Amino acid sequence: MSDIKKIKDDYIDKLNSENNIDKVNNIKSELFGKNGIISNEFKKLGSISVEERKKLASDLNNIKDELQNKISIKIQEIETKEINLKLEKEKIDVTLPERDIQIGKIHPVSQVIDEISSIFSEIGFSVEEGPDVENEYNNFTALNTPDNHPARDMHDTFYLDNNKELLLRTHTSPVQVRTMLKGKPPFKIIAPGRTYRSDSDQTHAPMFHQVEGLHIDKNINMGHLKGCLNYFIKEFFEVDKIKMRFRPSHFPFTEPSAEVDIGYEIKNGKIVIGEGDKWLEILGCGMVHPNVLKNVKVNPSKYQGYAFGIGIDRLGMLKYGINDLRAFFETDYRWLSHFGFDPLDVPSNYRGLSR
């Protein structure tokens, strides 16, 4: 008995001072291998008396457990030490720059179009489009603006032929004409898109963007027009209250016609929309003229409704504090990076129009 106890104590000492994993493994086989010291002690059990055997077997098992336990703790200890040492060596400077991030952006005009579409989608409008090149009829005549009408002078038109038959649309209103000609009432659409006038200075660009709105049904009146635009403006500028003024005006294709102003004030050199005692004109609208309805084969005694046209670029300028309209179209990398929007910022009702 004392023999094995001594063996045990020796090996425990040995293990305590050992730091090499291979040597620990050697010790393990020295003790428990085929001809290992402990293994051999077990083999001896067969040759002794039953009484002694019982006692010795129990002692041996205890020693075996103790040693094996010690060995596995030791191995774990050494391994942990080695890993820690390795990790220590592998430390890197995580403040070094990451790999290139390519940040793309959505142009403010596109973002504003998506915002507008999202808002009108909420109240049941669908999006229609029309061609940039229009014929004279759709752009003017069908919209109750015959050739001899002075209202045509308000549109500096780009023409594609000398007969002035083909032109670049001066507004998005021809989409009304196309939509109504190809379908049957009711109609409830918005039509965003490019528009063109041969005008170029600080506040005018030869190309700009408009969104047209049209709602025709049996009993749509000016109250609905007011309600629709009031809702839109509030949602678009993301304010709870908005001061808004409807003012009589004239467009050949609507009657009665109105221009809409919103209140604003200048605070610290910036435009603040909604309150204040100054007025800013932002859109034109009215009840679709019976002549227009007749031109598109809709019976004006059965159907009526409103239309509106809003300058998209200008809305964007007001909302996002952009000063120069011309910069929208000059593709300056710095401007696009600054005023552009993250592509994941998709305007929607449930997630909010903008961040």
Partner 1 sequence: MKFTVDWLKNHLETKFNNNQIIDKLTNIGLEVESFESSTSELDTFIVAKIINAKTHPNADRLKLCDVDIGRDKTIEVVCGAPNAKNGLLTVYAPPGSIIPKNQMKLSVSKIRGVTSYGMLCSESELLLSNESDGIIELKNNKYENKIGEKYFKNTSEKVIDLSITPNRPDCLGVRGIARDLSAAGAGKLKINKKSNLTYRGNQNINVTIKKEKAQGCTIFGSCLIKNVTNKESPKWLKDKILSLGQKPISAIVDITNYVMFDLNRPLHAYDADKVDNEIIVRSSSKGESFEALDNKKYILENDMCVISDRSGVLGLGGIIGGTRSGTEYSTKNILLESAYFLPHSIRKTSKQLNIDTDAKFRFERGIDPLSIEEGLIKASELIKQICGGEISNLDVKKIENYKKKIINFDPFLFEKTTGFSIENKELIKILEKLGFNVSKNKKILKLTIPSWRPDITQPIDIVEEIVRIKGYEHINTSEPIKTRLKPTLNYYQKLFHFLQRSVASKGYLETVTWSFTDSKINQLFKENDEEIPIVNPISSDLNVLRNSIFPNLLFYLKKNLDRGFKDISLFEIGPAFKGKNPGDQLTVIGAVRAGKVSRLSWNDKERIVDTFDVKKDVIQSLCEAGIDKEHIVIDDKTPSYYHPGKSGGVYQNKKEKNALAYFGEIHPNIIKKLDIKTEGLVIFEICLDYIKELKQKIKDTKSEYKFSDFQKSERDFAFIINKNFKSQELVNIIKSVDNKLIKSVQVFDVFEGENIPEGKKSIAVNVTIQSEEKTLNENDLDNVNKLIISSVESKSGAKIRS
Q: Cβ 226 to partner 1, closest distance in Å?
A: 5
CB of 88 to partner 1, least distance (A): 22
Angle between helices 37-44 and 21-32 (to 10 degrees): 10
Cβ closer to partner 1: 28 or 319?
Answer: 319
- Alpha-carbon 58 to chain mean position: 72
Comparing C-alpha atoms, which of 286, 290, 287, 264 is closest to residue 276? 264
| Phi and psi angles of residue 29, each rounded to the nearest 5 degrees, phi first | -75, -30
Q: How far is the CB of 206 from partner 1 (least distance, A)?
A: 4
Provide the 3-class DSSP secondary structure of residue 152. helix
Task: List residues bridging with 126 in a β-sheet.
Answer: 189
Q: How far apart (Å, rounded) are the C-alpha atoms in residues 84 and 260?
A: 72
Rounded to 10°, the helix 37-44/2-17 angle is: 160
> Whose CA is closest to 16, among 61, 77, 94, 65?
77
| CA distance linking residue 172 with residue 283, whole number of Å | 13
51-72 b/e with 16+ CB inside 10 Å = b?
A: eeeeebeeebeebbeebeebbe
Measured from the CB of residue 287, what is the shortest distance to partner 1 in angstroms?
A: 6
In angstroms, give the least distance from the CB of 336 to partner 1.
4
User: Given the complex with partner 1, which of 67 and 106 has the nearer CB atom?
Assistant: 106
Q: How far is the CB of 272 from partner 1 (least distance, A)?
A: 22
* Comparison of 4 and 127: residue with beta carbon closer to partner 1: 127
